[in-house]
Amino acid sequence: MSTICALSTPRGVGGIAVVRVSGEQAINICAALVRPIKQRLEQVGSNRTVFAKVYDDEKTLDEVMVTVFRAPHSFTGEDTVEISCHGGIYITERLLTLLLAQGCVMAAAGEFTKRAYLNGKLDLAQAEAVIDLIHARSPLQARNALGQLDGRLSRKVSALRAALCEIGTEIMAYVDYPEETIGEIDEASITQRLSQNATSLEKLLRSFDMGHLIREGIPTAIIGKPNVGKSTLMNALLGKDKSIVTDIAGTTRDTVEESALVGDMVLHLMDTAGIRETSDTVEAIGVERARAAAESAALVIALIDGSRPPDDEDKAILSIAKEKRSILIINKSDLPQQAELTDLAPVIRLSAKNEDGLEALHQAIRAMFKTETVEGESLNNLRQRQAVSEALVLVQSALSAMESGLGADMAGLDVTSAAEALATLTGESVREQMIEDIFSRFCVGK
Ligand SMILES: Nc1nc2c(ncn2[C@@H]2O[C@H](COP(=O)(O)OP(=O)(O)OP(=O)(O)O)[C@@H](O)[C@H]2O)c(=O)[nH]1
Ligand SMILES: [Mg+2]
């Protein structure tokens, strides 16, 4: 395999930049350019960092720190050299040019991680976690990706797969050699174990929705009748004046969208027009959009004004919220309170204007999404979901074959195929094209 090189830090001006070289010739190629002060690069021990100079035609190009990783003790599993040089465009480009002249080739997007996978350092689910970790924007996203990188999802899926393989083997042994199998096949036990596994697969499948939300950000609609303080809350959550706030009912007409880190999650906030009956054509379109936003959201934050007794318009809002995963906010807690609502939970009293009580909102959101997910064990992308849903369909088909007395041989084939479908998740058996697709989503240098 060729020896690859790339800039692993963002292109541009910075304190330092890291150029990574990986492959059989990594150390030899670098040794021609990078000279440590006290010894030759070839003599530097594994996982050691030393001070060195980079030479460009016998003139010093830069003073660097260079780290040598010897196979298999590196990220890629190959000999790897990481050169931490000064972070400038000229220096990094010149260094890469010199490396290419010495026989390196430029790494393709995700090639370092792809090699880590091909060399058995990571399985496919872990490799995907590397992309998620790089793109994480919230602590929860990062922890989830880190859990997956640590192999939590892989272990869970491997355990399920092993259980299915065992059932499959048992059935097939009986079907192929009925006379040698001790006793009758225990159909009741097989059916029970199959349905247990189906339940686990269903649960895993449900975790996709949550994993996906955590990874992509939670579409969140802020709804309420006019003037309850939706835009004020939106601005408080964003930490800037994005939405226009006035005391005129019907200020917000179009949906205003922006992402924000709320607590430890990314929310895609949608501030909406106040929902009410109106004859104004423009406002009516805004109200329609508000309803659509609530409909499409994964979380609805419904507001009412605590300083006024709730009316029919508020009740209409509550009934929209009831249909969704929602949090009810009684706003304007700084004013004398008139709204008493205890039938809906969770209810949070806060003052959006004074930004008083926002922490309780953060906690409610956190509690709502955290209890439903185990960090690092959720399915995070469509590929993973596809593998699990294929396995589930096959297990269900095996179950109905067993229950209808259609024959153990049918069930055996289905269970074995289900185990194979799960194997694609961790990459124990995948097509070449799938590997290409996954790693092309990476950035160069990773
Ligand atoms: N006292 C008090 N006033 C608030 C609070 N939140 C919002 N307001 C005021 O309520 C009025 C309406 O606020 P907005 O944020 O524009 O309300 P809205 O729900 O977006 O209204 P529309 O866009 O018209 O639907 C403004 O005068 C705000 O200053 C609060 O917590 N306390
Ligand atoms: Mg508004």
Average pLDDT, the chain: 90
Q: Does 412 map to a domain?
A: yes
- Ion ligand 2, residues whose Cβ is below 5 A away: 230-231, 251-252
Last residue of a domain, one of 342, 370, 398: 370
Q: What is the pLDDT of residues 201-218, one digit of tens each?
A: 999 998 888 877 877 889
Give residues (CB < 6 A) around ligand 1: 224, 226-232, 245-247, 249-252, 273-274, 331-332, 334-335, 351-353
Ligand 1 atom with minimal separation from the 354 CA: 31
Q: How far apart are CA 160 and CA 200, in angstroms?
A: 8
In the predicted model, what is the mean pLDDT of residues 290-303?
A: 96
pLDDT for 434 equals 64
**Does residue 94 share a domain with residue 11?**
yes
Q: What is the pLDDT of residues 157-200, one digit of tens each?
A: 999 999 998 898 888 777 776 666 555 667 888 899 999 999 99
Ligand 1: which residue has its CA nearest to atom 10? 229
Ligand 1 atom with minimal separation from the 250 CA: 24
Q: Does 87 map to a domain?
A: yes
pLDDT for 52 equals 97
Specify whether the CB–CB gap between 197 and 189 falls below 8 A. no
Specify whether the CB–CB gap between 384 and 425 falls below 8 A. yes
Query: For 173-176, which contacts have Cβ atoms below 8 Å and span 24 or more sequence positions?
Result: 174/408, 175/408, 175/409, 175/412
| Count of beta carbons in the 10 Å neighbourhood of residue 214 | 26
Instruction: Say if residue 184 is exposed, middle or buried (CB neighbours under 10 Å; 0-12, 13-18, 19+).
Output: exposed
Q: How far apart are CA 200 and CA 213, in angstroms?
A: 20
User: Position 140: which residue type?
Assistant: L
Domain of 67 in residue numbering reads as: 4-107
Chain centroid offset of residue 372 CA:
15
Ligand minimally distant from the alpha carbon of residue 248: 1
pLDDT for 97 equals 96
Q: How far apart are CA 330 and CA 371, in angstroms?
A: 24
**Does residue 358 share a domain with residue 254?**
yes
Q: How far apart are CA 195 and CA 401, in angstroms?
A: 12
In the predicted model, what is the mean pLDDT of residues 293-321?
A: 94
Q: What is the pLDDT of residues 221-279, one digit of tens each?
A: 999 999 999 999 999 999 999 999 999 999 999 999 999 998 888 999 999 999 999 99
The structural domain count of the chain equals: 3
| 342 has pLDDT over 60 | no
Chain centroid offset of residue 193 CA:
31
Specify whether the CB–CB gap between 2 and 22 falls below 8 A. no
Q: Does 390 map to a domain?
A: yes
Last residue of a domain, one of 303, 337, 370: 370
**Does residue 250 share a domain with residue 304?**
yes
